[in-house]
Chain A
Amino acid sequence: MISGRALVSRAAPLLTCLGLFVIWQVGSLALKNDSVPTALEALRAVPTIMGDKESLINILASLRRMAIGFGVAVLLSIPLGLLMGRNRFVASFFNPLLMVIYPVPKAALMPIIMLWIGVGDLSKTLVIFLGVSLPVIYHSFEGAKAVEEKMLWSGAAMGLSAAERMVRIVLPAALPEILTGCRTGLVLALITMVTSEMIARQSGAGNILFNALDMGQYDTVFAMIIVIGAMGICFDALFEMLRARLVKWSEPQFDMPLSFS
């Protein structure tokens, strides 16, 4: 049986969303401005977008770029971050480089990348890749640095080579921190995905949004924001479920709602 209290805490995220829509609805009705459609108008436009073949192809193209950019970034960033965390030379080589790149909004690099490699999939995927890489490298680096020396010594005494210690001790020990970086990276992937399509207008979810804006279809604009936001929430919740399974051993022992946390 679920107690009343648990029920409230389960339903809390939904209540928050509902509250937000109510405020939006009331606010937009009060404003009576064309550029602020009511929540109901925006929500009504969502199925229209999702039912349109053209829009779906656009959104799927976005997601494909996001998946590739995120996947490649994670696969390259984790080993680099771990090496930096355990090897002073690797760290002193890459640290200044990353410090320069970190604060630069990756979308700001988009015009230059477009100039070099065009407005196609590659440049957009590259920007997503850059956006995801930095937090993942940074968190992998911090996680690897924090691995207890004695744990590595224990492994060495059992006969693990330096490379084996990296894969079988540093990687699992740093995993909670790495996954925190990946979670940030996932959200950043979504953000850079949309912004890259805003700059290189050709296809994608961001393209639908900004085309609608140009044509004054404000209900579609807000509907797209809802769609993108919902994707963000879903990805984050799914990733959090995966994360919680992988690092069950490191979690504090009290229950937290899976997502929205």
Chain B
Amino acid sequence: MSVLSSRSDRRKRTAPASGLTTPMIEIDRVSQTFQTSSRKDHLALSDISLRVEDGAFVSILGPSGCGKSTLLYIVGGFVNPSQGTARTKGRPITGPGPDRGPVFQEFALFPWKSVLGNVMYGPRQQGVKPAEAEAQSRVLIEMVGLKGFEDFYPKELSGGMKQRVALARTLAYHPEVLLMDEPFGALDAHTRTRLQNDLLNIWERDRKTVLFVTHSVDEAVFLSDKVVMMTQSPGRIREIVDIDLPRPRRRTELLLDPRYQKYVVDIERMFDDTGEAEVLP
């Protein structure tokens, strides 16, 4: 029996395969204005509408400063949009909740808790009994490849390991949606590749809905079913590209796949046309 939510398995079996169902996430004409230090209003997001279906892996791709993280924070309920509404399963989002689990670039682990303590935190908060929470957490820690590090403190771990803990900590409370905010952005190339592979392997087990923010074209195409391309100031959706590549995906196979290469090149060209040169290949 997997510790990963069996709720999502049931959900998938019963969900009809039509586009008429309520989407897992629905962003409806959302705009976001910030006040800059010079008291001027800065339009960060302009009129964004997006539907994310249950079980889809969707990446939001754009140059830095295009508001893609802000969009994720709105779905998380951490930021209230200036205009428009975001909904999850049809209900308007009014604040954070355990149905939407964030994973941040900064890891945001609790430094005073051990690896096990961090992963157990969510289940304990949800009233799971200590012994049960611990057992579940140990399975998750093993799943993210950190068996043997249960009693380590975050300061004793490398960046890649910290992000593995952060992922396990979020998976532990069974969110229906994973909100990943450039989770591998602070890692070196090698670690990044390994974590991408591991994330896909973990995701294949129960196919949670994932909203994944990145500025790497390569990463977005490799991971996603859908890539939402955004443009800069104000942040707008430029194009939504369906990535029609077979799963499960193996990085070493994909890199040689002409279809994969074409997606990457096409997306890069589109960004070139708009002069969005900051997007990394």
User: Hey, which bits of chain A sit against chain B, CB under 8 A?
Assistant: 148, 150-151, 153-154, 156-160, 169, 172-173, 175, 247-250, 253
Contact = CB atoms under 8 A, between A and B. Distances in A.
B126 A249 contact: no
A153 B110 contact: no
B96 A150 contact: no
B98 A158 contact: yes
A172 B122 CA distance: 17
A148 to B, nearest CB: 6
Given A153-B96, A249-B112, 10 more contacts: A150-B102, A150-B108, A153-B76, A153-B102, A157-B96, A158-B122, A158-B126, A173-B110, A250-B112, A253-B156
Interface of B: 76-78, 95-98, 100-102, 104, 106, 108-113, 121-122, 125-126, 153-156, 169-170, 173, 175
Contacts of B125: 158-160
A200 to B, nearest CB: 42
26 contacts: A148-B106, A150-B102, A150-B106, A150-B108, A151-B109, A153-B76, A153-B78, A154-B170, A156-B96, A157-B98, A157-B101, A158-B125, A158-B126, A159-B97, A159-B125, A172-B112, A173-B111, A173-B112, A247-B112, A249-B111, A249-B112, A249-B113, A249-B153, A250-B111, A253-B155, A253-B156
A250 B110 CA distance: 11
Contact of A156 (B78, B126, B153, B155): B78
Contacts of B175: 157
Contacts of B112: 172-173, 175, 247, 249-250
Nearest to B121: A158
A59 to B, nearest CB: 37
Contacts of B104: 150, 153-154
Nearest to B105: A150
Residue among A159, A173, A253 with the highest chain B CB neighbour number at 10 A: A159
Nearest to A251: B155
A196 to B, nearest CB: 36
B110 A159 contact: no
A160 B126 CA distance: 9
Residue among B100, B122, B170 with the most chain A CB within 10 A? Answer: B122
Nearest to B106: A150
B97 A157 contact: yes
Contacts of A158: 98, 121-122, 125-126, 173
Given A150-B104, A249-B153, A157 B110 contact: no
A57 B170 CA distance: 58
A154 B111 contact: no
A153 B72 CA distance: 12
B155 to A, nearest CB: 7
A157 B100 contact: yes
8 interchain residue pairs of minimum CB distance: A150-B108, A156-B96, A158-B122, A172-B112, A157-B96, A150-B104, A249-B153, A151-B108
B155 A249 contact: yes
Contacts of B100: 157
A25 B186 CA distance: 60
Contact of B98 (A159, A169, A253): A159
Residue with the greatest number of chain B CB neighbours at <10 A, chosen from A158, A173, A250: A158
Contacts of A169: 110
Contact of A151 (B95, B101, B110): B110
A169 B112 CA distance: 9
Contacts of A172: 110, 112
A234 to B, nearest CB: 28
B101 A153 contact: no
A175 B111 CA distance: 11
Contacts of A249: 111-113, 153-155
A144 to B, nearest CB: 15
A250 B78 CA distance: 27
A196 B148 CA distance: 55
A146 to B, nearest CB: 12
A250 B98 contact: no
A160 B125 CA distance: 7
